[in-house]
Amino acid sequence: MQITFGLDELQQVAQQILATPHLKKVITFHAEMGVGKTTLIKELVRQLGVNDHSSSPTFSLVNEYRTDKGEAVYHFDLYRLKSEEEAYDMGIDEYFYSGDWCFIEWPDKTPNLIPIDHATISITQTKDGLRVLELKN
């Protein structure tokens, strides 16, 4: 699936992503800094039924949320991760194989720990400020 959108269309984009048939619960996000990975994840988390304020887990590596149905949603920002060993030591693989939603920014920091069966969202920004999103499920 490919979608071109403006930031004012983020709610509809998140709805389209979550409506993807058989969408995998582990999703990696690929984009340059400032293109909107965190903003999109915040909207996905909200649409999944999380009522708490969500933010980037830049300093803690992972934020955990609960949906209104009690399901866990994990948001990872691996940008500051120094090694895969550091991620493994924190038990990151347990999150990834939990069966819960895992939204992962900067997954290239842990290439050997990401489950083979995952979805990928790539976002690029056009010269006129629109975003082009490609979902591979």
Strands (E), the chain: 2-5, 26-30, 62-66, 72-77, 101-105, 119-125, 131-136
Summarize pLDDT for 54-107 with one digit per residue, the tens.
Answer: 555 555 688 999 999 999 999 999 998 989 999 988 899 999 999 999 999 999
pLDDT for 52 equals 72
Summarize pLDDT for 114-132 with one digit per residue, the tens.
Answer: 999 999 999 999 999 999 9
The structural domain count of the chain equals 1
More confident residue, 102 or 53: 102
20-58 as b/e: b if 16+ CB within 10 A:
eeeebbbbbbbbeeebbbbebbbbbbbebebeeebebbe
More confident residue, 80 or 44: 44
Other beta carbons within 10 angstroms of residue 120's beta carbon come to 17
Which two structure tokens, joined as six digits, stand for 19? Answer: 């409506």
What are the residues whose beta carbons fall under 8 Å from the beta carbon of 26, sequence distance 6 or more?
96, 102, 104, 114, 115, 117, 118, 119
First to last CA, the chain: 9
The domain that contains 129 carries what CATH number? 3.40.50.300
What range defines the domain where residue 89 resides?
A: 2-136
Give the three-class secondary structure for 39: helix
Contact 28, 114 (CB under 8 A): yes
